[in-house]
Amino acid sequence: MYNLSVMLSVMRRVAYGSKFLVLAMCVAVLSTFARPRSAGELTNNAWEKAAGGKMAFEVASVKRSAAEQGRAANFPLTLGSNFAKVGSLMSVDMTLRPLIGFAYKLSMGQTHFFISGLPAWVDSEWFDVEARAPIGDPTKDQFRLMMQSLLANRFKLAMHEEERELPIYALVLTKAGRTGPQLRPHVDDAKCGGEGRPGALPAPAEFADLPCGATILGVSRVPGRVRGGGRDVDLDYIAAFLTGTGFRGTAPDRPVVNRTGLTGDYDFSIEFVPDASALPNGVQPDPNGASFPEALEDQLGLKLKAMKGPVSVLVVDHIEEPTPN
């Protein structure tokens, strides 16, 4: 369970490559009745097919580790396109939940809603994973496919997909066909966040180094507020960002699902006043700032509509802690 103060710390670290990685979301393609399958066989999503289907690491080492000795992954495990090539090697040290989220292109927040049946130890036990791909310079999505196979082989992860009717927040436009002033179509630019390109959002200091395909949430320069944003991300990614931020001061009670109808990639920024419980000790909410619903509507031209809707859920049939190498 998250509160916003925890998420602020986590997401700031994500932007700079810390071990505590928050994943970004992609809602799984709906699938009806499915037989139990190993994780590596769940390849119904378009991104999985585009990446080449089932793949496996050439060699992999999985060892338990102490949390205080954990280190960063050697590339961002987020949904977005930000990815520094690392040759054929993948190196991570973290709990299992973010690795499952990475493998199936789900944000950390979405793993709590769209994966059912994970045991408690996936959030408490740390694992050091060193793996080598059979090809040079795999794409980020190809690394995801290899992680699916590793989860099936070493953790015996088997899941099936079910369509369920769940409470959701539908992310919709406040006014049809119009976005807010701080949600704009992304203009292709290698700098992605540099000043001066046509249509670019101003780049405040905390966003200056934000790469394409990434989001960030952090404290604002105005005490008692928080500020977030993203570069070159689609509305599904923004829905994932909102699911994971704990915008009410505690963990969201339902997932945010994109229902805007918008396509393409966007740049956005948002600043709002969170609940007092989500702010650092001694910091009070700014009485002059916008609440989250107000900021979402006035700044991004979006709103959340509480409803029930069909979503695809991955149901865990089996998982076990790995045996030593």
Q: What is the structure's pLDDT at 44?
A: 52
Q: What is the structure's pLDDT at 190?
A: 55
DSSP character at residue 114: H
Q: Would the pLDDT of 166 be above 80? A: yes
The percentage of residues in the chain with a pLDDT greater than 70, rounded to a whole number, is 75
Q: Give the pLDDT band (50/70/90) at residue 191.
A: low
Q: Would the pLDDT of 13 be above 70? A: no
Q: What is the structure's pLDDT at 280?
A: 80
Could you read off the pLDDT of 106-139 as tens digits, one per residue?
Answer: 988 899 999 999 999 999 999 999 999 999 999 9
Indicate the pTM of the whole model. 0.79
- Residue with the larger pLDDT of the pair 288 and 205: 288
Q: What is the mean pLDDT of the chain?
A: 79
* 34-43, 110-119, 183-192, 198-207: the lowest-pLDDT one: 34-43
- The domains of the chain are located at 20-165+311-318, 167-310
Instruction: Determine the average pLDDT of the residues in 6-29.
Output: 31
Q: What is the structure's pLDDT at 63?
A: 93
Distance between CA atoms of residues 115 and 220, nearest Å: 33
Q: Would the pLDDT of 67 be above 90? A: no
Q: Which strands form 183-185's sheet, in the order they lie side by side?
A: 183-185, 266-272, 226-233, 214-219
- Residue with the larger pLDDT of the pair 82 and 193: 82
Residue 56 CA neighbour count, 13 Å, CB half = 12
Distance between CA atoms of residues 182 and 202, nearest Å: 10
Q: Give the pLDDT band (50/70/90) at residue 45.
A: confident
Six-digit token string for 117: 């049946």
**Among 165, 130, 147, CA closest to 43:** 147
Q: What is the structure's pLDDT at 198?
A: 42
Could you read off the pLDDT of 252-296 as tens digits, one per residue?
Answer: 688 999 999 999 999 899 999 988 777 888 889 999 999 989 999
